Amino acid sequence: MSDTPTEVEMDPDVLVKTVDLKKHFPLTGGVFRKVIGRVHAVDGVSLEIKRGETLGVVGESGCGKTTLGRTILRLLDPTSGQIFFDGRDITYLSRKELQPIRRQMGIVFQDPMASLDPRVTIKKSVGEPLVVHGIARGPKMRAMVLDLLQKVGLNEDHLNRFPHEFSGGQRQRICIARALALRPRFIVMDEPTSSTDVSVQAQTLNLMKDLQDEFHLTYMFISHNLSVVKHMSDRVAVMYLGKIVELTPHDIFRTTLHPYTFALVSAVPVPDPRFAGRAQILKGEVPSPINPPSGCRFHPRCVFADERCRTEEPQLKDVGDGHLVACHYAGELDFGRSAQMEYAQAVGEA
């Protein structure tokens, strides 16, 4: 166990940093349950999240967003690569050494019902982090939990209820309260609004923004809803088959340099007849993360793919203004710029 923090040259503005992070799940099969393959859920992700910002992560289902979030928080042990938190290498810390660091980060899971113990009251669920870290018990814990619940718009009556007595949106807010209990600096929000309807979604998103300002939080915001991500994030990372293909500080609806991002953007339904049939729909299925395609992972579905794309893997390169793209022909491709602009407007109007 190397707990000597490897001080890489790190921007003091950066709170979380990963270097070539990989997480593979072994796949067993056959008569003796041998390992017959590996799911490349996260396959070489390098990113930085600055203090106080929100990094949005988008991608199709199964591309490894959740796995990335869980690995960064060390809820999963990474297969290789490095994770830095606040300048410290936490990749190989033991559970005990992680304990103080756990206080500084939290996660809100995709499914709020499943992430609350059905037999534990809300007071105890939200108070658990306080008890575990020896911060408060008994009446003091209760007071702190009440304070948290009020912050997310719940009240004293809700303290002694069980999860099944709440609505989906309320449960989500309970989970947010629990993630906040330790006053962390960094929270991974895993599709926090996927299980609620649009109006509740808007409320929850605004609540999260308010909380971010109040507690100076840094968010990693995972979603496959591009509009929501755009609304929430300072920068957006686009994932495809375990890799980041584009990371942009700009509006992804307007300036996109990667064909995959463009495809995603154009797949967003727009209530405008002018665009009927014009959206560039993604062709074919997502390839299996067990045997990802050679070269550029997107090449089987990319209309611009050529021989180079099939053999040589594009690196994530800065094309200016901190806009990173992993495509051999970044900036050289013509998706029909004007179409894109019109489209972005239509989305904006919608």
Partner 1 sequence: MSELVETGFEERVISVEEFRKAPVRFLRAIMVLLSMAGLVFGGTLVLGYLVMSVMGVLGVVAEMPAYVSGYVLHGLFVLFLAYVMLRIGDLLVIGDTQAFSWTLYANVLYILVFLLVPELTVYVIPPCVLALLVLFLPGVRRLWWAEFKEDMKPRLKEMRYSLYLVGKSPLVVAGIAIIVGFTLVALFAADIAPYGPEQRIWEDSYQAPNPKHIWGTDDVGGDIFSRIVWGAQVDLRISVQIVVVALVLGTLIGAASGYYGGKLDELVMRITDVFFAFPGLILAMAIVMALGERSLDNISIALMVTWWPSYARLVRGQVLSEREKLYVEAARSVGASDSRILLFHIVPNTIQPLIVQATMDIGGVLLTAAGLSYIGFGPKAGVAEWGLMISRGQDYLLICPWISLYPGLAILLTALAFNLVGDGIRDIMDPKLRRR
Partner 2 sequence: MKLRDFIIRRILLAIPVVFGVLTITWFLSYIVGDPVVMYITERTPDSAIPGIKKAHGLDQPLPVQYFMYISNLLRGDWGMSMSSARDMPVLEVIADKFPATIELAMVSMVFAVMLGIPLGIVSATRKDKPVDHFTRVFSLAGVSMPIFWFGLMLKYVLYFQLYRAGLPHFPSGDRLNGRVFDYEKDYRVTGFVLFDAIVYHQNLELFADGLMHLVLPGFCLGYLTLAIITRMMRSSMLEVLREDYITLAKSKGLSERVVIYKHALRNAMIPTVTVIGLAFGGLMSGAVLTETIYNWPGLGRWAVRAILNSDIAAINGFTLLVALIFVTANLIVDLVYGVLDPRIRFG
- Residue 47 CB, nearest approach to partner 1 (Å): 20
Where along the sequence are the contacts to ligand ATP (CB under 6 A)? Answer: 25, 39, 41, 59, 61-67, 110, 224, 289
Q: Is residue 245 a contact partner of residue 222, using CB atoms and an 8 Å limit?
A: no
CA 232, chain centre distance (Å): 12
Based on the shown chain and the rule CB under 8 A, indicate whether residue 26 belongs to the binding site for partner 2. no
Rounded CA-CA distance 126/141 in Å is: 9
For residues 264 and 279, give the distance between their C-alpha atoms in angstroms, rounded to a whole number.
10
Q: Measure Cα distances from 63 to 67, 222, 226, 265 in Å.
A: 9, 12, 15, 16
Answer with the entry of partner 1, partner 2, ligand ATP, none that 32 interacts with (C-beta below 5 to 8 A by kind): partner 2
Q: Which does 305 bind (CB under 5 to 8 A by kind): ligand SF4, Mg ion, partner 2, none?
A: ligand SF4
Q: Which is nearer to ligand SF4, 7 or 306 (CB)?
A: 306
**Residues 6 or more apart from 306 whose CB is under 8 A from it?**
none
Task: Give the DSSP per-residue string, 292-309.
Answer: PPSSSTTGGG-TT--HHH
Residues of span 53-82 touching partner 2 by CB under 8 A: none
31 versus 198: smaller Cβ distance to partner 2: 31
**What residues from 313 to 342 belong to the interface with ligand SF4 (CB under 6 A)?**
314, 327-329
Of 299, 333, 332, 336, nearest to 314 by C-alpha is 299
215 near ligand SF4, judged by CB under 6 A:
no
- Rounded to a whole number of angstroms, the minimum distance from the CB of residue 328 to ligand SF4 is 4
| Residue 350: both structure tokens together | 């919608």
Q: Which of 32, 96, 138, 155 binds partner 2 (CB under 8 A)?
A: 32
**Tokens 């919608």, residue located:** 350
Gyration radius (Cα) of the chain, Å: 21
The answer to whether residue 66 forms part of the interface with Mg ion (CB under 5 A) is yes
With CB under 5 to 8 Å by kind, the binding choice for 121 among ligand ATP, partner 1, partner 2, none is partner 1
Applying CB under 6 A, does 304 fall inside the site for ligand SF4?
yes
Task: Name the 3-class secondary structure at 161.
Answer: coil
Which residue lies nearer to ligand ATP by CB, 110 or 212? Answer: 110
From candidates 29, 322, 331, 348, binder to partner 2 by CB under 8 A = 29
Q: How far is the CB of 46 from ligand ATP (least distance, A)?
A: 17
